[in-house]
Amino acid sequence: MKIQCKQCLAMTDLPPGADPHASTWCDCCTIRDDSGEIHHHGRAAESCPGNNGIGHPGEPCDHPNPAVCAMVSRPMRPGEVSANPAAPVREHGEPCPGGHCGAGVSGCAVCRPVTHFPVTGERLAMTGG
Amino acid sequence: MANMTDQGRINWFLQAVFTTSAATTTFTPGTGGGSPIVITTPYHLRLMTAQGSNTAGSNGTEMGTGQGYTALGQTLGTTFCAAPSAGTMSNSNSVTWAATGTWASAITSIEIWDTAGTPLRWLQGALTSNITGVVNGDSVQFAAGAITINASAW
């Protein structure tokens, strides 16, 4: 199967069972963590602290600017005015570590979503059901 | 009796079934020939996490709705395949899914169904290698020509 970087469109063959996001074949993914390992798009995407830190596993980020999507809630402080005083105040917390990415997303630190190009085996059988 | 069928007849049959762009195609057998064969297109491509078999009713396990995939699959276009050659044909249109989350299970195989009120499964088969590691932001694309129907040994 081939995979393609969605940013620079470079393609490569992916060996069976290999992790497409741990493969490096183009120059797009230049981020290294403290241990020197290439940044892993998939792991970062799942480390999102959004939704008050509980993340949104398996769900897409609905923030208009995913690079700053982390939101936290806190009680209202004295002197603050709100249309709904009982509701906690939501504001940006620490910047998103890059759990979401895409070409053109400002601040994106996980730069390489890929396109998977599967193909079928030699023979696709007719079925009886 | 593999490799015994006249390929001219196979090509004829394949083109009638998989190249038709009519919304509904009906073949009406003569007396004793069984029930009419009705095909409602477009065909849909389904992604399977476990492969079935080519036995009637032995369907695979389809990926569930979510993370950018919708159960019952996605259309293969008005015309599924171009006319066959030597018992072989392939898809004319690409099909793409945009992942909106992690695909928890590997995709091992595909099935192709029609879009009748009660859809019928027409084709099933394994991928050359599983689709794994799909995460939010990725795409999965069956390019034109990626799906091959090979009836040369039917």
Does the CB of A104 have a partner CB in chain B at under 8 Å? no
pLDDT of residue A123: 54
Q: Looking at chain A, which residue has its C-alpha nearest residue B101?
A: A58
Percentage above 70 pLDDT, chain B? 95
Task: Supply the pLDDT for residue B63.
Answer: 97
**Is B150–A127 a contact, with Cβ atoms under 8 angstroms apart?**
no
Instruction: Give the start-end residues of each E strand in chain B.
Output: 24-27, 37-40, 44-50, 61-62, 74-75, 88-90, 95-98, 107-113, 121-131, 139-142, 148-150
State the pTM of this model.
0.73
pLDDT at A31: 52
Quote the pLDDT of residue A98: 44
For residue B112, the model assigns a pLDDT of 96
Q: How many helices (H) and strands (E) does chain A have?
A: 1, 6
pLDDT of A102? 43
Distance CA A100, CA B101 (A): 10
Q: Does B43 touch chain A (CB under 8 A)?
A: no
* Mean pLDDT, chain B, whole residue set: 91
Higher pLDDT: B106 or A119? It is: B106
Put simply, whether A55 touches B (Cβ < 8 Å) is no
Higher pLDDT, B64 or A96: B64
Give the start-to-end residue ranges of the domains of chain B. 7-148
Please give the Cα distance from B84 to B87 (Å, whole number).
Answer: 6
Question: Which one, of B93, B105, B154, lies nearest residue B131 by Cα?
Answer: B105
Does residue A116 sit at the B interface (CB-CB below 8 Å)? yes
CA distance B138 to A6: 8
At residue B2, does pLDDT exceed 70?
no
Window A:69-98, CB contacts with B under 8 Å? none
Segment B35-59, tens digit of pLDDT: 999 999 999 999 999 999 888 889 9
pLDDT tens string, chain A, 129 residues long: the values are 899 988 788 888 988 887 787 666 776 655 555 566 655 555 555 555 554 455 555 454 555 555 455 555 667 778 877 777 777 676 655 445 444 444 444 444 445 678 999 988 655 666 654
What pLDDT is recorded for position A71?
54
Closest C-alpha to A128, from B32, B90, B143, B124 = B124
What is the distance in angstroms between the Cα of B19 and the nearest Cα belonging to chain A? 15
- Residue pair B154/A128 in contact (Cβ under 8 Å)? The answer is no
A40 touches chain B (CB under 8 A): no
Can you tell me the distance from the alpha carbon of B145 to that of B77, in angstroms, rounded to the nearest whole number?
Answer: 13
Which distant-in-sequence residues (6+ apart) come within 8 Å of B133 by Cβ?
A: A19, A20, A21, A42
How many whole angstroms separate alpha carbon A7 and alpha carbon A74?
Answer: 38
Decide if A100 and B137 are in contact by the 8 Å CB cutoff.
yes
Phi and psi, residue A92, nearest 5°: -70, 135
* ipTM score of complex: 0.89
